[in-house]
Amino acid sequence: MTKNRGILVAIAAMAAIVVASNVLVQFLMGDWLTWGAFTYPFAFLVTDLANRTWGKAAARRVVLAGFATGIVCSFIAAGLDATTLRIAIGSGTAFLVAQMVDVQIFARLREGSWWRAPLVSSLAGSALDTAIFFSVAFSTWFVFIDPADEVAWANEALPLLGAGPVAPLWVSLGVADFGVKLVLALLALVPFRLIAARLRPA
């Protein structure tokens, strides 16, 4: 596979993950998760494969394509009253910052053990993504973004994940989301190893 064709495939995969996640985030799975939590983490896999195969510049192109796709999804969702300004800003900011940090960390660790770069960069990116999205979208700290956006439901004080110390509901949502990202970051090492072995290194 040529470099340009490979990057286009990576861009298409990233766009598909972003679109799927934007659709599936509307459907709940239990009390703390949406189905989108199970698709979005694979964005880090796509970014890391692009970084391993074609380098940082190509990975950044893939990330920017995903960011542009996310913006389009937000406009469509806003037109359908399926999102708010805070959710859109939180989602876009979290994606861009987390993915760019992932690219940088991966590049710094790429010469070490094969698993270290994808695992560490994905976990760091996932932690940032979760913290930025849930705090911007739901916490009272960012109410100035859109004072008319009613997020009292997300700030209801409840036991963490139904059993821990009392915290705002959005904290439980974020912890559950990061837990899924942690598990999938570990599982994604298998396809990363198999796919990277078939692609030409940068």
Report DSSP state, residue 55: -
- Please work out, in degrees rounded to the nearest 5, the angle formed at the alpha carbon of residue 74 by the alpha carbons of 92 and 157: 70
Which CATH number characterizes residue 36's domain?
Answer: 1.10.1760
- The reported pLDDT for the residue numbered 200 is 66
Residue 61 CA to chain centroid, in angstroms? 16
What residue ranges of the chain have pLDDT lower than 70? Answer: 1, 200-202
Residue written as tokens 């790429």? 110
Q: How many domains are there within the chain?
A: 1
The token duo for 73 is 């999804």
The token duo for 108 is 């710094």
Give tens-digit pLDDT for 45-91: 999 999 999 999 999 999 999 999 999 998 888 788 878 999 999 99
- The reported pLDDT for the residue numbered 41 is 95
Residues with Cβ < 8 Å from 195, sequence gap 6 or more? 49
- The reported pLDDT for the residue numbered 201 is 53
Q: Phi then psi for 89, rounded to 5 degrees?
A: -65, -45
Torsion of CA 130, 136, 141, 142, to 10 degrees: 170
- The reported pLDDT for the residue numbered 12 is 96
Which residue range is the domain that position 59 belongs to?
3-198
CB atoms within 10 A of CB 6: 17
Name the strand (E) or helix (H) holding 166.
Answer: strand 166-168
Alpha helices by DSSP H, listed for 25-161, are 42-54, 56-79, 85-109, 116-138
- The reported pLDDT for the residue numbered 175 is 96
The token duo for 165 is 């110390």
Q: What is the pTM of this model?
A: 0.93
What is the C-alpha separation between 146 and 192, in angstroms, rounded?
40
- The reported pLDDT for the residue numbered 202 is 46
What is the C-alpha separation between 94 and 126, in angstroms, rounded?
9
Torsion of CA 40, 42, 44, 47, to 10 degrees: -120
- Please work out, in degrees rounded to the nearest 5, the angle formed at the alpha carbon of residue 57 by the alpha carbons of 53 and 62: 75
